[in-house]
Structure 1
Amino acid sequence: MTAMDLKLIKMVSDHYWEKKESVVDKISFKGRTFYNKFEKISAPLNQTVINKHIKGDITVAHSIVNSRGKVENIVIDYNGRDPERFYHKAQLLLREEGYINFTAYKTKTEGHLHVYIHKGHTTLAEAIQLGKMISMKLASKQPKQWRMFPNSDMPDEYNILTLPYEVYAKERGAAWSKHM
């Protein structure tokens, strides 16, 4: 994983979240209780922190939503058993929907993927709606084994994703897309 691969994400870098061994805080949200193991660190997410994460010394997550309520990426967090099949179906659907810039990353757990759809400056409400639409269309083609981020069913402290470890596949504005 290179620094350039992570720059594709355009993640919020003015703070980061570090996983702790015990529960950091208890959050009540929409009648549910969440036990958060990630502590917000109000320091910049820099290459030193990222390198510690990649080595496995610490587990670091980044926020999906920035301080102005804008979202750069809509993320599919796939937790199934067949990443090749899932990515193929997701790739076809995303192209069909007009998304030509997206990247899939491998996570720490074997077979799990984070597919970052690079949408650009999008409001939180619009990102949630687009995520629900993409999820619904994917669910019509295969069993649902993923979560969408950002997500309105979880508090802001849970709209975070751990940093990826390796690039799985990239899709960048294919030349054929202008003919569609």
Structure 2
Amino acid sequence: MKVFDLDLIDTHYYIKRNSIVEQIQFNNRTFYAKFERIDEPLTPLLLEQHLQREYTIAAPLLENGYTDYLVIEYKGEEYQRFHYLIKHLFDTLHIEKYHIYQGKSEERIQVFIEVDKLSLEEADKQLKELSNLLKQKLTKKWKCLPDISLPEAYNIITLPYKKLI
């Protein structure tokens, strides 16, 4: 599925519901999912309805234990500072293939870093390193995906609403 500049997994998608749709047992924890898995490709109409905020749609980040994107999603009042800090950090680390989007609100920034079929373990390791570098400059108000401590149904990302760079 093509969303802005992103080529996301198109075998299925998730749609947010108003109530819990699934209870997931994972690593001795219970997760309550509000996103329902739909086993078909996302249609252009549904994508348009998401962009118009009629539905909230999410895409999976993992396929057979591998990902093509590392995602850092920031939600906080210092979103402009985070935006510039992430660009500076990526310049310093020579990370060139990334995209920055606005999420559902102005305070939600989604950063997608392109990778080539990275295992969940390696993705988790790289994201922890990036997160630790960000923590030196900013209070942690972000999450990193995919995350090895979450079940597959939680390693999803809400589709962005607006391209920032």
TM-score (norm 1): 0.86
Give yes or no for contact 2:69–2:112 (8 Å, CA) kept in 1. yes
Q: What percent identity do the matched residue pairs reach?
A: 31
Q: Which runs of 5+ in 1 are unaligned?
A: 170-180
Aligned to 1:166: 162
**SS of 1:147 mapped into structure 2:** strand
Give yes or no for contact 1:16–1:41 (8 Å, CA) kept in 2. yes
Q: Which runs of 5+ in 2 are unaligned?
A: none
Shift of residue 12 of structure 1?
A: 0.7
Shift of residue 30 of structure 1?
A: 2.1
1:37-91: CA deviation from partner (whole Å, max 9, x where unpaired): 111000102322211111222111000112x322111000101111111011111
1:126-155: CA deviation from partner (whole Å, max 9, x where unpaired): 111111111111111211110100001211
Find the aligned partners of 1:140 and 1:32 in 2 and give their Cα distance.
Answer: 30
Work out whether 1:23 is the aligned partner of 2:17: no
Aligned to 2:30: 33
- Structure 2 residue corresponding to 1:53, chosen from 41, 50, 54: 50
Aligned to 1:173: none
Work out whether 1:107 is the aligned partner of 2:103: yes
Find the aligned partners of 1:47 and 1:124 in 2 and give their Cα distance.
Answer: 29
TM-score (norm 2): 0.93
Work out whether 1:12 is the aligned partner of 2:9: yes
Q: Which has the larger radius of gyration?
A: 1
Runs of 4+ in 1 over 4 A off after TM superposition: none
- Structure 2 residue corresponding to 1:93, chosen from 89, 113, 133: 89
Aligned to 1:76: 72
Find the aligned partners of 1:55 and 1:25 in 2 and give their Cα distance.
Answer: 26
